[in-house]
């Protein structure tokens, strides 16, 4: 007889920063339940992994992280966070430092990420995570500089 599925974990977050910190801790430890508890349950939530396509909806996002965690947790550190926030919406753009052990030794890779949070009755929840491959070296912090290329 199959064991009943446990109820979803509820994680209360008091700020978008707290939600983000818990998101990256869940990635680092491979804690799928905690990671998914930080997402909004809205069917339009979206996740884009570096170099990947759009993953839409909680079930699809869960499946994508299950596949990632089946390999290993993600040794990622958020850095250079830039924030725009209102009372109910926060957008964070940051550099993600990913450290991996290769046959050549420890290597650092970078991704550039945008995380979008909304305030709910359960606190702040993630509604979008979009990470793109970044620079080979540490990404420059170009705050206040004029961009050299436009979208």
User: Is the pLDDT at 41 greater than 70, yes or no?
Assistant: yes
Residues 92, 95, 98, 99, Cα dihedral to 10°? -130
Instruction: Map out the domains of the chain with their CATH numbers.
Output: 16-133 (3.10.450.50)
User: How far, in Å, CA of 78 to CA of 134, rounded?
Assistant: 13
Q: Please give the average per-residue pLDDT across 117-130, as a whole number.
A: 96
Closest alpha carbon to 50 in 135, 128, 131, 137: 131
For every residue of 49-100, DSSP letters joined together read -TT--EEESHHHHHHHHHHHHHH----EEEEEEEEEE-SSEEEEEEEEEEEE
Q: Cβ neighbours of residue 73 under 8 Å, at least 6 residues apart? A: 27, 28, 29, 30
What pLDDT shows up at residue 150? 47
Q: Please give the average per-residue pLDDT across 134-138, as a whole number.
A: 69
Q: How far is CA 82 from the centre of its chain?
A: 14
Tell me the per-residue pLDDT of 57-78, one tens digit each, with 9 for 90 and over.
999 999 999 999 999 999 999 9
Angle of CA points 24, 98, 69, to nearest 5°: 60
Tell me the per-residue pLDDT of 74-108, one tens digit each, with 9 for 90 and over.
999 999 999 999 999 999 999 999 998 888 888 89
User: How far, in Å, CA of 65 to CA of 74, rounded?
Assistant: 10
Check residues 40 and 5 and name the one with the higher pLDDT: 40
Whole-structure pTM over 0.75, yes or no? yes
């Amino acid at each position: 007889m199959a064991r009943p599925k446990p109820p979803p974990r509820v994680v209360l977050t008091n700020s978008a920063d707290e939600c983000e910190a818990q998101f990256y801790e869940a990635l680092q430890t491979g804690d799928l339940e905690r990671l998914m508890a930080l997402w909004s349950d809205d069917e339009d939530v979206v996740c884009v992994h570096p170099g990947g396509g759009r993953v839409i909806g909680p079930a699809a996002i869960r499946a994508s992280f299950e596949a990632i965690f089946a390999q290993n947790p993600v040794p990622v550190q958020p850095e250079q966070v830039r924030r725009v926030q209102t009372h109910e919406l926060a957008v964070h753009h940051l550099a993600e430092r990913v450290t991996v052990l290769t046959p050549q030794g420890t290597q650092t890779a970078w991704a550039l990420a945008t995380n979008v949070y909304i305030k709910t009755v359960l606190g702040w929840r993630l509604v979008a995570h979009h990470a793109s491959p970044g620079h080979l070296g540490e990404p420059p912090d170009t705050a206040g500089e004029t961009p050299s290329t436009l979208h």
